[in-house]
Amino acid sequence: MCHASDSLVWGSPLWMLHALCGAKTLEKMTTELVRDIETERFAVTIDVERAQRCNDVVLSLPALDAAEFSAQAWLDPDGLVRRVSGSWPSRSSIFPAYSDVLEYVLGCPPGCAARRAAGRALGRLVDQR
């Protein structure tokens, strides 16, 4: 469990879960199985400032400033996040668009508070479509 004084670093699966509350756009990509569970895969644009404000933890940011970044989230029929992936913008010529790609298949139990909160945040955007 995270507390207000906690700080999460880029690279932590919990960082991505907490950052999802800053989602400003969401687009369904496809349906996929994640660990034998059917999920909907979404492309997400996360507003960094919004993600910082909507959390009870500090999200430590990578060195390169960015106003937003791209992510993907896989939601199951109950609205739980089953997988999350994110890409932070980079100046690297090797990776012309994004680098520092994170992807986690989440092993925390379905009752995990961060997972429920992330699913609710994305669910609100799904409902608005």
2 found inside a domain: no
In eight-state DSSP terms, residue 108 is S
Domain span at residue 69 reads 7-128
Q: Provide CB contacts within 8 A for 58, sequence distance 6+.
A: 6, 7, 8, 52
Domain count, the chain: 1
Q: Are strands 68-75 and 81-89 parallel, antiparallel or unpaired?
A: antiparallel
1 found inside a domain: no
Neighbour-count burial of 129, counting CB atoms closer than 10 A to its CB (0-12 exposed, 13-18 middle, 19+ buried): exposed
pLDDT in tens, the chain (129 residues): 444 457 888 777 778 888 888 999 999 999 999 888 899 999 999 999 999 998 888 888 887 788 998 999 888 888 888 888 888 877 664 443 433 445 555 656 555 666 667 777 777 766 665
